[in-house]
């Protein structure tokens, strides 16, 4: 096992640099003064280049080939498979392109912070054009080597084994019934009264409530923390997970479920197998699986009736000076399951969220395949918003293709490991085309996982008890500890008895919103 052991040592060295990069990225978003952006961008670009050089070291190819003939266990063979996958993904892209993309992405995102508020699409395009150009170069290179379309080659970075033909089928089916279901639910909810308040909810009270809910969700505070940033995300590394949120003192609803969402990402990271720490096999299986954990926590658990019933007294306790009727369990349930098509993806409800994802998927797919130009995005965005959500964003760039950003720990770490929105999401500012499908795939995986768990135990009783350990034990055994030792299809088949089946997602939505 001499060659395999050399590979292990090398990839653990890469992991240490990725650790530093992840923490620097968290600091840039949560702590760094704005004046430090240029120097930090240059430093991180240099670090990204160094990681790329380590990941593409010429001798790795020989070590991988020679290790294949060594006497390895089944998990070690899986580990070698993932090493080979990461090496292939990394070696395809030239070093100068890696550095250029990092610099262009940082410049684009930093300028976005003021351009969005000014509705300045034209100014944004001055930087975004370069991001798109470099990303198209990358997509073309990857596609030629892998024998895939440019977009499928980018998609494969985040969702190995998934292609646009599959997504076209899955999303096509989804759009065939989702608009009608959305309308049915809206009609139903028009008959319901929801009590809200214009009162203020202090940041300190929201923070205290968030920490208590994180404890309820078994977050390990010895290996993680909660902070504030302009845009919520979960970053860091499994041994040191950093969750951030933003607080609106006029609305405690979004920040609280945002914390629950990011805690799902964090629990997955904290649950990854320590014996494979630092190795590709010990990382998240895919972005869809990563998102499945955050959405399992937020949607399958966090917005369920018994969880909200437990949340209600906690909210009353932390917001003692506020109108207690807002925090009645039945009222909170209505608040957290309200369906209303809107402009902003990160604020969308569970039912309309997939429409935001499909819109972005269709645009980025055609953009990377060279069928459209970045200049076409505003018009396409408006057309698709009208088609899927009945809303127009004509000339409203800041709420259309320049809206809010959301950067997850999964995206941040995966981008460092694997490859070094328009203004609406940092995914596109950062050149991470191919990422968006992961959100809806994650929602589908999560629904399928919960459907399986419900066959094994009384989920409602467990949540009502306040001790969610049996549910987390299932996730730990079947998802977290498996990391990347299996393909996505094999992981889901072993855990649930079948590969992805979107029918579970539809049943979940109909059960929650119609019954």
Stated as kind and residue range, the H or E segment containing 244 is: strand 240-245
Q: Which residues are annotated as a binding site?
A: 261, 265, 291
User: Which of 59, 55, 72 has the alpha carbon at shortest distance from 2?
Assistant: 72
Q: Which residues are annotated as a binding site for Zn(2+)?
A: 261, 265, 291
**Can you read off the two tokens belonging to residue 459?**
């989920």
Going by DSSP bridges, is the β-strand pair 224-228/233-237 parallel, antiparallel, or unpaired?
unpaired
Query: What are the Cα distances from residue 196, in Å, to 86, 250, 314, 324, 399?
Result: 49, 11, 17, 10, 24
Helix axes 150-158, 409-419, angle to 10 degrees: 120
User: Which of 91, 446, 98 has the alpha carbon at shortest distance from 295?
Assistant: 446
C-beta pairs of 136-141 under 8 Å, 24+ apart in sequence: 136/367, 136/368, 136/370, 137/97, 138/93, 138/97, 138/101, 138/419, 138/431, 139/368, 139/433, 141/92, 141/93, 141/94, 141/97
Do 290 and 438 touch, CB atoms closer than 8 A?
yes
**Can you read off the two tokens belonging to residue 106?**
């940082």
Q: What is the DSSP letter of 273?
A: -
Do 80 and 67 touch, CB atoms closer than 8 A?
yes
Phi, psi of 19 (to 5 degrees): -60, -50
Q: Under the phi-then-psi rule, with left for phi > 0, alpha for psi from -120 to 50, and beta for the rest, what region is 318?
A: alpha
| Catalytic sites, residue numbers | 262
SS3 245: strand
Do 201 and 319 touch, CB atoms closer than 8 A?
yes
**What spatial distance separates the first Cα and last Cα of the chain, rounded to whole Å?**
57
User: Which of 413, 493, 416 has the alpha carbon at shortest distance from 235?
Assistant: 413
**Can you read off the two tokens belonging to residue 264?**
């799902």
Q: Cβ-count burial of 491 within 10 angstroms (0-12 exposed, 13-18 middle, 19+ buried)?
A: buried
Which segments of 230-376 does DSSP mark as H helices, in order? Answer: 253-271, 287-295, 305-318, 329-336, 353-368
Give me the DSSP letters along 191-243.
Answer: TS----------HHHHHHHHHHHHHHTT--GGGEEEEE-SS-EEEEETTEEEE
Do 250 and 201 touch, CB atoms closer than 8 A?
yes
């Amino acid at each position: 096992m001499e060659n395999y052991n050399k590979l292990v040592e090398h990839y653990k060295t890469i992991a240490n640099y990725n650790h530093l990069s992840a923490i620097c990225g968290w600091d840039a978003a949560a702590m760094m003064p704005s004046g430090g952006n240029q120097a930090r961008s240059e430093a991180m670009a240099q670090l990204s280049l160094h990681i790329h050089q380590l990941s593409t070291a010429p001798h790795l190819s020989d070590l991988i080939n020679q290790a294949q003939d060594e006497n390895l266990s089944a998990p070690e063979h899986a580990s070698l498979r993932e090493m080979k996958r990461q090496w292939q993904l990394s070696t395809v892209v030239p070093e100068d392109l890696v550095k250029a993309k990092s610099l262009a992405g940082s410049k684009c995102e930093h300028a976005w912070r003021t351009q969005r508020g000014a509705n300045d699409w034209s100014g944004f395009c001055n930087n975004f054009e370069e991001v798109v150009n470099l990303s198209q170069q990358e997509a073309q290179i990857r596609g030629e080597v892998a024998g895939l379309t440019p977009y499928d080659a980018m998609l494969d970075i985040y969702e190995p084994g998934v292609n646009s033909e599959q997504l076209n089928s899955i999303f096509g089916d989804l759009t065939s019934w989702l608009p009608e279901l959305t309308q049915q639910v809206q009609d139903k909810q028009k008959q319901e009264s929801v009590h809200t308040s214009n009162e203020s909810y202090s940041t300190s009270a929201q923070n205290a409530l968030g920490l208590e809910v994180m404890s309820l969700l078994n977050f390990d505070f010895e290996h993680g923390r909660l902070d504030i940033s302009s845009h919520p995300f979960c970053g860091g590394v499994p041994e040191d997970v950093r969750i951030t949120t933003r607080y609106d003192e006029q609305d405690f609803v979004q920040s609280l479920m945002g914390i629950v969402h990011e805690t799902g990402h964090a629990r997955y990271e904290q649950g990854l197998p320590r014996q494979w720490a630092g190795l590709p096999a010990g990382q998240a299986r895919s972005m869809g699986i990563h998102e499945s954990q955050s959405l399992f926590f937020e949607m399958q658990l966090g917005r369920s009736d018994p969880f909200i019933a437990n949340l209600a007294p906690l909210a009353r306790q932390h917001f003692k000076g506020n109108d207690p009727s807002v925090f009645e369990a039945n009222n909170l349930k209505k608040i957290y399951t309200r369906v209303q098509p809107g402009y902003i993806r990160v604020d969308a409800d569970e039912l309309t969220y997939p429409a935001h994802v499909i819109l972005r998927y269709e645009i980025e797919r055609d953009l990377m395949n060279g069928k459209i130009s970045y200049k076409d995005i505003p018009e396409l965005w408006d057309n698709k918003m009208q088609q899927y959500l009945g809303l127009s964003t004509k000339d409203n760039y800041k709420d259309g293709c320049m809206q809010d950003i959301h950067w997850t720990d999964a995206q941040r770490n995966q981008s460092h490991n694997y490859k070094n929105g328009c203004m609406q999401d940092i995914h596109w500012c950062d050149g991470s085309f191919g990422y968006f499908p992961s959100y809806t795939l994650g929602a589908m995986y999560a629904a399928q996982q919960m459907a399986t768990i419900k066959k094994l135990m009384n989920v409602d009783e467990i949540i009502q008890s306040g001790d969610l350990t049996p549910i987390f034990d299932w996730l730990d055994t079947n998802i977290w500890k498996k990391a990347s030792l299996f393909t996505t299809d094999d992981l889901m088949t072993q855990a649930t008895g079948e590969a992805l089946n979107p029918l579970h997602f539809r049943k979940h939505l109909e059960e929650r919103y119609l019954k």
